[in-house]
Amino acid sequence: MSINRRRTFAALVSAGLLWGTTVPLSKLALHWMPPGWLTFVRFTVAAGLLLPAARHQLRAVLRPAVLASGALGYGATVLVQNAGITRTSVTHAALLIGAVPVMVAIIAAVWHRTVARPVAWAGFALSLAGVGLVTGGHGGGASTAGDALVLVSLLFSATFTVVQTRLLAGRDPVATTAVQFLGAALAVLPFAAVTEPWPAVPVAPGPLLAIGALAAGGTLLPFALFAYAQSRVPAEVAGAFLNIEPFVGAVAGVVFFGNPAGLGQLAGGVAVLGGIALSALPLLARGRAATAGSGRDPVPAAAEVPAAELVDPVPAAAEVPAAELVDPGVDISTAAGSSWQPPSCRAQRREDHRDRPERRQGGARPARRDHPGGLSPPRTMGRRHGNRRGGGPVPHRRRLNR
């Protein structure tokens, strides 16, 4: 696997792991902040940290289309998801998030006419089954309305994942993500100011730490890493790594929220990882094909070409007359019976100068075959001939001044 492929896989895995912390952190932060204000603070902090880092590329990506995509793809998605998390449990939200890769594959097939391979579909199904096993121990506080809101947010997220692939074409992924964060914050602010009350001052540091971790570790890093990887792989391949999020969320639910864990959850985790591996097989195949066509083996071996198609670029020695063959190890200047000696450069230039009649005083200039009529064009440039058509020396400047 090439270095670029390794970086792409590392970015996708890291984004999935960091995104897995968003549901538990959002659940903690929502005890203090309403969904709209939490979304605004989350993307405002992330945009404030990322915009200075991408300041040199902002002019090329600061477009209304990029701002609108951030407002809908990030702002609206996270706002609806936060509203659903407040009405359901962490395990239910993690279970529903596992359906995102399948949604991405279906939307990509309908919209872009790109159908994933059967092995990728098998990986999607296996990951979805693993998510169901991992989150099989349902916790309390779940509701149908909360699950429906989470499903709507996931539909927005899957659609945005498909659209983002073409939006990132020819643009810097980090700068694009920073502008989209800004668009998300600007879009959510009016909704939060009109429909939700101002959040009260927290009495404990837990919600503040959760919001800080959500803005930096759950928003800034994963979205930037995923945008970097998504600009290099198809949408359905990048979407397969989103199944890491419910796996991490389920583990966090077991550790921090006391959800039950057993053999089913362990088997589900293995199924999620196996499904991601199956879904990424097309990317691995393209990576091997690119490596095979790279500079490591630019010319096929002679054994791979039929013998009848081989061409000898140099004629054989037998095709050249024996009289014309010259031994490269023998110096022709010192060979026996040879009187030829290579002339020196100064002697050659002196002889050439002596043989040129136009260099002589008053000598006739030879005719040129490449000039019409066989006549040589008059000299019009140079210090010796000046601008005189007839040639000859130019009169001295003192004589002209008299």
* pLDDT, tens digit (0-9, with 9 covering 90-100), for 339-384: 555 555 566 666 665 655 555 455 555 555 554 555 555 554 544 4
Query: C-alpha dihedral over 181, 182, 187, 189, to 10 degrees?
Result: 100
| Range of lowest pLDDT (30-44, 71-85, 185-199, 305-319) | 305-319
How much of the chain, in percent, has pLDDT values that exceed 70? Answer: 64
179 pLDDT higher than 50 = yes
Q: Which residue has the higher pLDDT, 26 or 338?
A: 26
Domain ranges of the chain: 3-197+205-292
| pLDDT at residue number 152 | 92
CA distance 248 to 321: 80
At residue 66, the pLDDT reads 94
Q: What is the pLDDT at residue 295? A: 43
For residue 80, pLDDT beyond 90: yes
Higher pLDDT, 345 or 96: 96
Q: Give me the pLDDT at residue 192, please.
A: 94
Most confidently predicted of 209-213, 237-241, 255-259 = 209-213
Residue 262 Ramachandran class (φ > 0 left, ψ -120 to 50 alpha, else beta): beta
* Helix H or strand E segment including 195: helix 173-195
The pTM assigned to this predicted structure is: 0.61
Average pLDDT in the 179-186 region?
95
Supply the pLDDT for residue 96: 79
Model pLDDT, residue 43 = 93
Task: Assign 105 a pLDDT band (cuts: 50, 70, 90).
Answer: confident
- Average pLDDT of the chain to the nearest whole number: 74
Amino acid at 113: R
Alpha helix segments (H runs only) across 257-335: 263-279, 281-292
Whether 76 shows a pLDDT value over 90: the answer reads yes
What contacts 290, CB < 8 A, 6 or more positions away?
Answer: 2
Place of tokens 């932060």: 29
Residues in contact with 392: Cβ distance below 8 Å, sequence separation at least 6, in sequence order: 385
Sign of CA dihedral 94, 99, 101, 107: negative
pLDDT score, position 40: 95
Residues 67, 71, 74, CA angle at the centre, nearest 5°? 115
| The most confident of 61-75, 92-106, 260-274, by mean pLDDT | 61-75
Q: Say what the pLDDT of residue 1 is.
A: 54
Q: Is the pLDDT of residue 244 over 70?
A: yes
The average pLDDT across 203-224 equals 86
Using alpha carbons, select from 240, 330, 344, 301 the residue that is nearest to residue 15. Answer: 240
- State the pLDDT at residue 41: 93
Rounded distance between C-alpha atoms, residue 216 and residue 174, angstroms: 14
Query: Bigger pLDDT: 388 or 247?
Result: 247
Q: Across residues 4-24, what is the average pLDDT?
A: 88
Q: What is the mean pLDDT of residues 79-106?
A: 82
Is residue 71 very low, low, confident or very high in pLDDT (cuts 50, 70, 90)?
very high
Section 278-289 average pLDDT? 62
> Which comes out higher in pLDDT, residue 116 or 196?
196
Local confidence band at 68 (pLDDT 50, 70, 90 cut-offs): very high
